[in-house]
């Protein structure tokens, strides 16, 4: 089983970004299908375990993070969603992508 997780941290006040919608799509050129949908928990985390087929491991994925709703009361909000394209080549690996987010920027890294 593969594991995908993320942790969203609010750089405006150092809090965990809870209740943020995350959608991961399996992509093929311009076509995409929903692979999983979730919301971050009270600690700003999302953690899912799933099986990856050979086709999945050879394919591409796109994670959409809906930050616009989270920062909807901030006048400086210019980023409505974050899109990150990635691969999951190993069906037994843990994939962890934490992000630091704000209304007008973000930083992401791949963590082992």
**Average pLDDT across the chain, whole number:** 94
pLDDT at 29 over 90: no
Structural class in CATH, domain 2-108: mainly beta
pLDDT in tens, 30-42: 899 999 999 999 9
Q: How far apart are CA 32 and CA 106, in angstroms?
A: 24
Q: Are 67 and 40 in contact (CB under 8 A)?
A: no
pLDDT level of residue 4 (50, 70, 90 thresholds): very high
Q: What is this structure's pTM?
A: 0.92
pLDDT in tens, 52-91: 999 999 999 999 999 998 998 777 788 899 999 999 999 9
Distance of CA 89 to the CA centre of its chain: 17
DSSP label at residue 19: S
């Amino acid at each position: 089983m593969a594991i995908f997780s993320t942790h969203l941290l609010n750089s405006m006040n150092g809090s965990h970004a809870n209740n943020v919608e995350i959608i991961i799509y399996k992509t093929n050129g311009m076509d995409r299908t929903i692979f999983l949908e979730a919301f971050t928990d009270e600690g700003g985390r999302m953690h899912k375990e799933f099986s990856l087929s050979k086709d999945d491991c050879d394919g591409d994925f796109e994670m959409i993070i809906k930050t616009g709703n989270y920062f909807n009361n901030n006048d400086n909000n210019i980023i409505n969603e974050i899109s990150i394209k990635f691969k999951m080549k190993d069906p037994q690996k843990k994939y962890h992508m934490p992000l630091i987010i704000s209304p007008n920027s973000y930083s992401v890294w791949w963590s082992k």
